[in-house]
Amino acid sequence: MRLKRIILTPPQGNPLPIYVETIGFNPEQEKIERENGYPYYHWLQTISGKGVFTIDGQEHLLPQNSGMLIRPNVSHSYRAISNKWQTAYITFNGPIIGELISYTGLKLDAIYQWEKHNPIETILIRWIERMDQPGDVFGTQASTNIYQFLLMLNSYARTQKPVVSENLAKIQQLITWMHKNISNPNIGLEDFASYLKLSPRSLNGMFREMFSTSPYAYFIDLRLRVAKQLLIESKHLSVKEVANHVGFRSPSHFVATFRKLFGITPDQFRQLH
């Protein structure tokens, strides 16, 4: 599905008890910073990839099958920590929303998680597909949908305690170190673990929990992302120089790895861009 944002207009003079302001899907979620928060209740969930949500000075991981319910006007920010973070969201309000949330016992500014194949996993996407068709001009069906969604959230999802991610801070330090040492072809898992003063096994487990991949696989991916950037932005560099810059021992190894992952050679990639 492509980027989608549907804006609804509640009927004037006779406001709905609960109404939806927007509902949408973002295939490549960009970094968002809202110092003054958002004026509506806001639900954000991960469709694929992984992000981190910061609120009240605490960082919360948002992997697949998780989402966050946020109060209006609360300072927050969120950003991707995987190559691509796909999200769905819905913003809503209404005269009885506070009473409904209190009645259901839903927690605000909290992470919700659910198992795979849970109805919550795809319900927003299905609504977006239906609402993309003309008909619900004033959002009356959407009002019913958000009521249903909050009840489902209460029934099918569980909250977790806020995650003050000491591990995330460590991983971010390591990623910064990876960038600084990207030209060194001799770096491996032992070096990553030594830098953080962890065992290789502990680092592997921590990294896989956050990124669903190993530290070394992430480092190879980082090398190739930087290589693609250099191929586009630094036309004066030869393929051999790019390979050296991102830590490949030989141009042939760089070309073979690049072709295996992207289906084209670095030269062909450069010509396309």
pLDDT tens for the 273 residues of the chain, in order = 788 888 876 656 556 788 888 899 999 999 999 999 999 999 999 999 999 999 988 888 899 999 999 999 999 999 998 889 999 999 999 888 888 888 888 999 989 998 888 888 888 998 888 876 655 545 677 788 888 899 888 888 887 544 435 677 788 789 889 999 999 999 999 999 999 999 999 999 888 876 778 899 989 988 998 999 999 889 899 999 999 999 999 999 999 999 998 899 999 999 887
Domain edges within the chain: 4-160, 166-272
DSSP one-letter code for 56? T
Torsion angle, CA of 165/57/71/37, rounded to 10 degrees? Answer: -120
Same fold, 4-160 and 166-272: no
Q: How far apart are CA 182 and CA 219, in angstroms?
A: 8
* Neighbouring residues of 1: CB distance < 8 A, sequence distance ≥ 6: 25, 27, 125, 128, 129
12, 23, 133, 143, 146 from 139: Cα distances, Å = 12, 11, 12, 6, 10
Q: What's the topology of domain 166-272?
A: Arc Repressor Mutant, subunit A (1.10.10)
* Neighbouring residues of 268: CB distance < 8 A, sequence distance ≥ 6: none
159, 198, 235, 264, 268 from 241: Cα distances, Å = 50, 33, 11, 18, 16
pTM: 0.63
> What is the CA angle 66-67-73, rounded to 5?
160
How far is Cα of residue 197 from the mean position of the Cα atoms in its chain? 28
CATH architecture of 4-160: Sandwich (2.60)
